[in-house]
Amino acid sequence: MKLHGYFRSSAAWRVRIALNLKGLDVEHVSHHLRHGGQRDPAYLALNPQGLVPTLALDDGTVLTQSLAIIEWLDETHPQPALLPKDPIARAKVRAFAQAIACDTHPVQNLKVLNRLRELGHDGAVALAWAADVNIDGLSACEQLAAKNSGPFCFGSEPGLADICLVPQLGNARRFKVDVTKFPRLLQAEAAAMELAAFRDAVPDRQADAE
Ligand SMILES: N[C@@H](CCC(=O)N[C@@H](CS)C(=O)NCC(=O)O)C(=O)O
């Protein structure tokens, strides 16, 4: 399999964690987002959204959207499970993951920040926007996770919620958010970073890191 990504992409980072937890090896193909690699026609033929990640399977199947890719990985490689079996617990984990992946990350991604600059806002305004969006999303996640026992977001094993949380905390720090406001999330992150699957997925450890 080939994972099309970029070291700093938090959506690709989620998939890297999931692959590591499942013990799966892939070839990494980097697309330099700041140089517009995601809009290269050859890449757009794979992923018409011009976003990373994309997972290309050995049989030619192409999967896009990190949550869809991770759920496919979980269905085809069930151990260790990334979602609980109980339907209510699954819905809660998905809600946490979507609070990050659907409602927080998309409004602070590169495309949105570039658009703010094109509309005449200076870099500081774009960064303040990104920080505010992270504070909103992570504040809600802090409350969602606080309802559960730890150390991970939903109990004693890592799962989809932690996979989304750790890269988003990385984004929040990049946008200078004071993450000490989120002690329950930091507890889950600390537990995750005890695991090689999470440590090996961090941007700085990727071959395309700058
Ligand atoms: N919902 C998508 C988001 C993908 C996404 O926004 N990827 C970012 C990097 S984290 C990207 O490719 N940005 C390129 C751009 O904004 O032009 C997913 O979860 O896969």
Q: What is the pLDDT of residues 128-148, one digit of tens each?
A: 999 999 999 999 999 999 999
CATH number of the domain within which 140 lies: 1.20.1050.10
Ligand 1 in contact with 65 (CB < 6 A)? yes
Which of 57, 79, 101 terminates a domain? The answer is 79
If one residue of 29, 31, 109 were mutated to test the ligand 1 pocket, choosing by the most ligand atoms within 8 A of its CB, it would be 109
Which of 55, 79, 103 terminates a domain? The answer is 79
The verdict on 59 and 129 lying in the same domain is: no
Dig out the tokens for 202 from the structure. Answer: 């961090």
Q: Confidence band (pLDDT; 50, 70, 90) for 120? A: very high
Q: Got the DSSP string for 158-180? A: --HHHHHHHHHHHHHHHTT--GG
Which pTM does this prediction carry? 0.97
How many helices (H) does the chain have, and how many strands (E)? 9, 4
Mean pLDDT across 112-136? 94
The verdict on 122 and 183 lying in the same domain is: yes
If one residue of 110, 164, 165, 166 were mutated to test the ligand 1 pocket, choosing by the most ligand atoms within 8 A of its CB, it would be 110
Which of 18, 52, 79 terminates a domain? The answer is 79
Ligand 1 in contact with 104 (CB < 6 A)? no
Beta bridge partners of 55: 3, 63
Domain that holds residue 69: 2-79
Is the N-terminal amide bond of 80 cis, ω within 30° of 0? yes
